[in-house]
Structure 1
Amino acid sequence: MKLAVVGGGSTYTPELIDGFARLRDTLPIEELVLVDPAADRLDLVGGLARRIFDRQGHPGRITTTSDVDAGVADADAVLLQLRVGGQAARNQDETWPLECGCVGQETTGAGGLAKALRTVPVVLDIAERVRRANPDAWIIDFTNPVGIVTRALLQAGHKAVGLCNVAIGFQRKFAKLLEVAPADVHLNHVGLNHLSWELGVRLGGPEGEDVLPKLLAEHGDAIADDLRLPRAVLDRLGVVPSYYLRYFYAHDEVVRELGTKPSRAAEVAKMEAELLAMYGDPSLDEKPALLAKRGGAFYSEAAVDLAASLLGDGGSPVQVVNTYNNGTLPFLADDAVIEVQARVDRTGATPLAVPELDPLYAGLVANVTAYEELALEAALRGGRDRVFKALLAHPLIGQFEYADGLTDRLIAHNREHLAWA
């Protein structure tokens, strides 16, 4: 089995490598190729990756290349975890929207749209190269914004599934609070990527006892603290929203906070410099503790599980993924991409039935789905008017004056990445 990781020079790649090494019985990789245009980073990450494999006794071979075509040749699956423009572009995504009083974030709002515009054309070009190299290869997308990028891939006819670590993060946290094995926790996870709610937490299987009321009653304070939302919000909703919902439920508060401290991108850039220095130490043969602060917790376990199911019989039969709606949420078009529990096997991901969604959540999901459709149109076809319409449709913006100002700022800060600008 051969896997390629595009964006393999990322500083959190060692998290992925550690998972591949530990879970080699689930996903028996024979060859792993790390692909990245940043040769200096790739050398450091690749060296540590080989040492992690050696330490844990993994027999697989790890190679590195800056050539996408060479990297994906004959790959059975390709994981996408790239960031067009790097942390510098992310820093812009997180700062210029604040000038208009809107949240600055890399996956939602105006910053999220900027990232989509930069990313979709690059991802589609890579996907075409994968298809030419091996039309049967699966593409696993971890590149944000996952929902928009996955929809672009699926609409172009690629064998693709989107992956996010939010659901597995909740699963692990809830399992710890309940003092049970993570495999015993099954989430009624419903919504879109970075716009989802845990409507139920079931023990033993998808039809098991719902212990969400118990979780909220006994551990509501801890869960609320993690989400940085008031406990009263969880009690009144009776569900657990993704921490990304704070951008919607407490938008103005978040904007005020973001205006008083360095951007997350600036923090990550500093952290990355420290990590890369560590990776260059030839004695380091495990992921450093600092990596846990980088983000992407449990990404490796989720990626292994998904790849194992798509390529064989080693993964869990039911996983939370991003895939076509196909009637799952009846108020959305079939080709909308949703994030729900799905049955995953060699044929792909088939969403499981979900409870009827309360209008409180369904309305926001429909609104953001409409934005994502417009965002994808802007990413594929370009043009100021398409960017403006996507921004106007976003529920965190929604005002003509804001959308107009944000459009000018987005184009000005991303001109080098926009072929049409």
Structure 2
Amino acid sequence: MKLAVVGGGSTYTPELIDGFARLRDTLPVEELVLVDPAAERLELVGGLARRIFARQGHGGSIVTTSDLDAGIDGADAVLLQLRVGGQAAREQDETWPLECGCVGQETTGAGGLAKALRTVPVVLDIAERVRRTNPGAWIIDFTNPVGIVTRALLEAGHKAVGLCNVAIGFQRKFAGLLGVAPVDIHLDHVGLNHLTWETGVRLGGPEGENVLPKLLAEHGEAIAADLRLPRDVLDRLGVVPSYYLRYFYAHDEVVREQRTKPSRAAEVAEMERQLLKMYGDPELAEKPALLGKRGGAYYSEAAVDLAASLLGGGVGSPYQVVNTYNKGTLPFLPDDAVIEVQAAVGSSGATPLPVPSVDPLYVGLMANVTAYEDLALRAALHGGRERVFRALLAHPLVGQYAYADALTDRLLAHNREHLAWA
């Protein structure tokens, strides 16, 4: 089995490598190709990756290359984890929206739209090259904004599934609080990428006992602290929202915080400098503890599980939280919306499990953001200032024409080098 990782020079990659090494019985990778145009970073990451494989006794080979076509040739699956514009672009995404009083974040709001505009054309070009080289390969997208990028891939007819680590993070967290194995936790996870709620936490599978009320009663303070939301908000909701919901539920509070401290991008950039220095140490043969603060926790385990199921090994988990077409699962959304829910995953792809009726409290926000994502994708595919403005006006974190106009000007000014039409 051959896998290719596009964006393989990312500081995330040793997390992925560690999972491939530990879970080699689940996903027996014979050749892993790390593809990245940043040759110097790639060699640092590739060197550590080989040492991790060697230390854990993995017999597969790790190849590094800046040649995309060579890297994806013959791959059974291609994982996308790229960042167009790097941390410098992320820094901008997290700062210029604040000038208009809007949250600065790299995957939602105005910054998230900027990232989508930069990313979608690049991902579609990669996917077309994958299709020409190996039309049977699966594309697993971890590149944000995952919902919009996955919809772009699916609309273009690619064999693609989107992946996020939010759900597996909650699964591991809840398992620890309950003192059970993660495999025993099944989440009733519903929403869009980075706009999700855990409406049930079940023991043993989709039909198992719902222990969410017990979790909230006994561990509500700890869960709320992780989400940086008041405990009484969780009690009143009766569910556990993704931590990205804080940008919606406490928008003005977040903006005030962001204006008084360094951006997350600046923190991550400093971590990356330290991590790359560590990766260059020939004695290092495991992922360093600092990587846990970088983000992407449990990404490797989710990716291994998904790839194993898609590639027909029959050893992946029967149900996994993924991003895929709605197809009637949430009746209040269009069939071609991309939702993030539990799905049965196999060699033919992902089929969402039935979702119980959804509280109107979440329906409106999901429908609003779905409409924004549709407009955002049209802007990414076809360009044009007016399309950007319409997407921003539709976003619930913007929503006023004066803000949308001003943010459109700033978005274009900061992203012209990445937008062929601007």
TM-score by length of 1: 1.00
Once residues 209 and 412 of structure 2 are traced to their aligned partners in structure 1, the CA distance between those partners, rounded to angstroms, is 50
Once residues 204 and 322 of structure 2 are traced to their aligned partners in structure 1, the CA distance between those partners, rounded to angstroms, is 20
Once residues 142 and 270 of structure 1 are traced to their aligned partners in structure 2, the CA distance between those partners, rounded to angstroms, is 22
Once residues 291 and 23 of structure 2 are traced to their aligned partners in structure 1, the CA distance between those partners, rounded to angstroms, is 19
SS in 1 for 2:112: helix
1:366 corresponds in structure 2 to 367
Post-superposition offset of 1:416: 0.2
Structure 1: gaps spanning 5 or more residues: none
After TM superposition, list the pairs within 5 Å mapping 1:171-250 onto structure 2.
171-250=171-250
1:251 corresponds in structure 2 to 251
Post-superposition offset of 1:12: 1.1
Once residues 161 and 155 of structure 1 are traced to their aligned partners in structure 2, the CA distance between those partners, rounded to angstroms, is 12
Once residues 326 and 381 of structure 2 are traced to their aligned partners in structure 1, the CA distance between those partners, rounded to angstroms, is 21
State the identity %. Answer: 86
Post-superposition offset of 1:242: 0.2
2:68 matched to 1:59? no
2:88 corresponds in structure 1 to 88
Post-superposition offset of 1:275: 0.3
Once residues 286 and 181 of structure 1 are traced to their aligned partners in structure 2, the CA distance between those partners, rounded to angstroms, is 24
Once residues 314 and 235 of structure 1 are traced to their aligned partners in structure 2, the CA distance between those partners, rounded to angstroms, is 38
Post-superposition offset of 1:103: 0.1
2:415 corresponds in structure 1 to 414
After TM superposition, list the pairs within 5 Å mapping 1:139-178 onto structure 2.
139-178=139-178
2:292 corresponds in structure 1 to 292
Instruction: State the one-letter code of the partner of 1:293.
Output: K
What are the superposed Cα offsets for residues 284-315 of structure 1, whole Å, 9 maximum, x if unpaired?
00000000000000000000000000002120
Name segments (4+ residues, structure 1) moved above 3 Å: none
2:351 corresponds in structure 1 to 350
SS in 2 for 1:322: strand
SS in 2 for 1:401: helix
Instruction: State the one-letter code of the partner of 2:127.
Output: A
SS in 2 for 1:373: helix
Once residues 206 and 48 of structure 2 are traced to their aligned partners in structure 1, the CA distance between those partners, rounded to angstroms, is 39
Instruction: State the one-letter code of the partner of 1:380.
Output: L
Instruction: State the one-letter code of the partner of 1:10.
Output: S
Once residues 190 and 12 of structure 2 are traced to their aligned partners in structure 1, the CA distance between those partners, rounded to angstroms, is 27
Post-superposition offset of 1:143: 0.1
1:327 corresponds in structure 2 to 328
Instruction: State the one-letter code of the partner of 2:400.
Output: Q
2:104 corresponds in structure 1 to 104
After TM superposition, list the pairs within 5 Å mapping 1:393-412 onto structure 2.
393-412=394-413
Instruction: State the one-letter code of the partner of 1:347.
Output: S
Instruction: State the one-letter code of the partner of 2:110.
Output: A
Once residues 43 and 286 of structure 1 are traced to their aligned partners in structure 2, the CA distance between those partners, rounded to angstroms, is 16
SS in 2 for 1:49: helix
Post-superposition offset of 1:267: 0.4
Once residues 308 and 358 of structure 1 are traced to their aligned partners in structure 2, the CA distance between those partners, rounded to angstroms, is 34
Once residues 31 and 359 of structure 1 are traced to their aligned partners in structure 2, the CA distance between those partners, rounded to angstroms, is 48
Once residues 140 and 72 of structure 1 are traced to their aligned partners in structure 2, the CA distance between those partners, rounded to angstroms, is 13
Query: How large is the Cα RMSD of the aligned pairs?
Result: 0.3
1:47 corresponds in structure 2 to 47
Once residues 107 and 262 of structure 2 are traced to their aligned partners in structure 1, the CA distance between those partners, rounded to angstroms, is 18
SS in 2 for 1:161: strand
Once residues 72 and 220 of structure 1 are traced to their aligned partners in structure 2, the CA distance between those partners, rounded to angstroms, is 45
Instruction: State the one-letter code of the partner of 2:4.
Output: A
Once residues 337 and 369 of structure 2 are traced to their aligned partners in structure 1, the CA distance between those partners, rounded to angstroms, is 11
Instruction: State the one-letter code of the partner of 1:322.
Output: N
2:389 matched to 1:388? yes
2:329 matched to 1:304? no
Once residues 354 and 141 of structure 2 are traced to their aligned partners in structure 1, the CA distance between those partners, rounded to angstroms, is 23
1:73 corresponds in structure 2 to 73
Instruction: State the one-letter code of the partner of 2:235.
Output: D
Post-superposition offset of 1:71: 0.4
SS in 2 for 1:273: helix
1:136 corresponds in structure 2 to 136
1:283 corresponds in structure 2 to 283
Post-superposition offset of 1:335: 0.5
How many pairs were matched up? 421
Post-superposition offset of 1:370: 0.1
Instruction: State the one-letter code of the partner of 1:123.
Output: V
Once residues 241 and 331 of structure 1 are traced to their aligned partners in structure 2, the CA distance between those partners, rounded to angstroms, is 20
